[in-house]
Amino acid sequence: MFFHPMDFLIIIAFLLSLWAQFRVKGTFNKWAEVPINSGLTGYQAARRMLDNNGLHDVPIEAVPGRLSDHYDPINRVVRLSEPVYYENSISAVAVACHEVGHAIQHSVNYPMLVLRHRMFPVVNITSGIAPFLLIAGFLFQNMGLVGLGIIFFSAVVAFQLVTLPVEFNASNRARDLMIAEGFVSNEEEQGVAKVLNAAALTYVAAALISLLELVKYIMIFTQNRD
């Protein structure tokens, strides 16, 4: 009951997730040491990209931490970690422009981002309830609770899967615009790609873990429902 054949794959996915987190930090740190030829800081690149896409009303804020960068769709604010906000490295500009990519997605109603926003209130609830339902169901051998937990957890997995195209699309937008607007040279784009791809891998690993866990729960449920 406590060990399932799927656990082996889940452990591998978990190790992949750890490696992805290590890689994103290492890749960011490596390219953070490489100044960008344009001399733009993360803030300057983000501001120019926003303005060039008609998003003059979207502010940019510096926030504490490292790799704490994000776009806030509720308040329509791009928030950049201090190293990204102030530095003029390839890593800083790549990360800053990626977050602007999300702001552009928001402005053009990118379908997957719209779907993600609509799913968020539901997932915010189900993500907190699902673990308790699954634990209670397994402890008391109640497949009804397990089934309900699976339904709730499915919403969480769906949210993570929808997040993948959102992240990849934001990175692709950022890379295309950075080159088109002259923020980076064709040679520097290789470094930009490595930074953004490393970050994307963390989302892939997290989604894979959740998907494998969901398959495990479904297998247990179908084997015990009779």
Q: Which of 87, 99, 167, 213 is catalytic?
A: 99
Q: Cβ of 165: how many Cβ atoms within 10 Å?
A: 15
- CA-closest candidate to residue 95, choices 184, 18, 14, 160: 184
CA dihedral 222, 9, 127, 164 (to 10 degrees): -120
- Tokens for 122, please give them: 């539901």
Rounded CA separation 26/32 (Å): 10
Rounded CA separation 160/126 (Å): 13
Rounded CA separation 69/67 (Å): 5
Question: Considering Cα of 130, then 131, then 137, then 140, what sign does the dihedral take?
Answer: negative
Question: How many Cα atoms within 13 Å fall on the side-chain side of residue 132?
Answer: 5
**Active-site residue, 99 included:** yes
Cβ-proximal residues to 43 (8 Å cutoff; 6+ apart), any chain: 60, 62, 80, 85, 86, 96
Active site residues: 99
